[in-house]
Amino acid sequence: MKRNGRLIAGLVIVLLVMLCTACAADKTESNKTGTASGNSDKTNAGVSDKQRVIASLKGDITIPTEPQRVIGLSVVYPELLYALGVTPVAVQNYHQDFPSYLKEPFKDTLKMGIAQTPDFEAILASEPDLIIAPTWWADKDYTQLSKIAPTVLLPQRDNWRDELRDIADVLGKKDQAETVIQDLQLKETEAKKKLHTLVGDETVMYMMIMAKELVIYGENIDRGSFIHKQLGLKPVKDFPQSELSLSISLEVIPKYNPDHIILQLDDEASEEVQNRYKDMLNSSLWKNMTAVKKNQVYMMGGKEWFSLGMSPLADSYAIDDVVHAFENKQK
């Protein structure tokens, strides 16, 4: 009887040990699974409140859930960030001054200038918690940038709308990106109707004066597409459709002879550009053009048009510019 009692007690002890071991193993495995997959509620509660993992061209990257100090490299990324409600802490800038539509919101933003290699010291001093850049611009600098802050490289795009959506995906602002796109599209549609009532089927030539040449933009390049497709202003009929833009001499301008000219100086501060502009204004070839005789030449552009066709902010500003210019000529 005693022997049977000992045997039963021994079996109970063995069973208890096995049960405890199984529970411990199950708990350990559960923890391992949660850590590996990132799907555990406990793990997410500890990590996802402040960080999340996103896929990028360099693999999965952990970034802040709500980044507070963002840098967007390339000249246009800061504009796309601001369109999504994010003011960058530092930017690469082409002009000394920001365009008027960014002057106030970027008043505390550090200007780093434009260079093939970014100013790493300035970026580090800005203490970013997230860096976003197009791969064609920053792939060569990725290793150094990622040592400063989590760096997300995004694919090259031909349309700013796709760039905006890419950035919005990183920031968790997809709905806001679509709102920006739709609002601008509505503004373009309304401007197109208004311009048609003002201009009708009269031709418009978009021309830029550069230091070494005069350039006419066609409807298949960003800037020209904005003027001729998005705003519906009729291009000159002899512009070759196979060309994005044409570099021409002063002697060739009369060949196109549009009803209206949108004129832009590439760099208003450039002495060469200003001299070429003055020479053109004093030319009899220029003075005898239809648009000049009818006083239908509209000086626009400058740094406000630098990102035209590449940013919703620049496009929105230019829409107002064009509509106001044509309206004023009708008064």
Which domains, from first to last, does the chain contain?
52-174 (3.40.50.1980), 192-329 (3.40.50.1980)
Give the three-state DSSP class for 263.
strand
- Strands ordered across the beta sheet of 110-111: 110-111, 90-91, 70-72, 130-134, 151-154
d(CA 263, CA 209): 8
Task: Name the pTM for this structure.
Answer: 0.80
For residue 17, how many other CB atoms are within 10 A of its CB?
10
b/e 305-331 (16+ beta carbons within 10 angstroms → b): bbbbbbbbbbbbbbbebbbebbeeeee
- pLDDT at position 331 is 60
Q: What value does the mean pLDDT take over residues 209-235?
A: 93
| pLDDT above 50 for 228 | yes
What pLDDT, in 10s, does the model give residues 115-135?
878 899 999 999 999 999 999
Residues linked to residue 56 through DSSP beta bridges, in sequence order: 59
| pLDDT above 70 for 17 | no
DSSP class of residue 229 equals I
- pLDDT at position 222 is 87
| pLDDT above 70 for 43 | no
Residue whose tokens read 């970014």: 118
Q: What value does the mean pLDDT take over residues 96-105?
A: 93
Nearest to 245 by CA among 280, 201, 215: 215
Q: What value does the mean pLDDT take over residues 21-37?
A: 38
Q: Which of 19-28, 49-58, 264-273, 319-328 has the lowest mean pLDDT?
A: 19-28
Tell me what percent of the residues of the chain surpass a pLDDT of 70: 85
111 or 45, higher pLDDT: 111
- pLDDT at position 48 is 58
| pLDDT above 70 for 86 | yes
Residue pair 301/239 in contact (Cβ under 8 Å)? The answer is no
d(CA 76, CA 61): 23
DSSP secondary structure of 71-84: EE-SSSHHHHHHHT
- pLDDT at position 84 is 98
d(CA 55, CA 15): 47
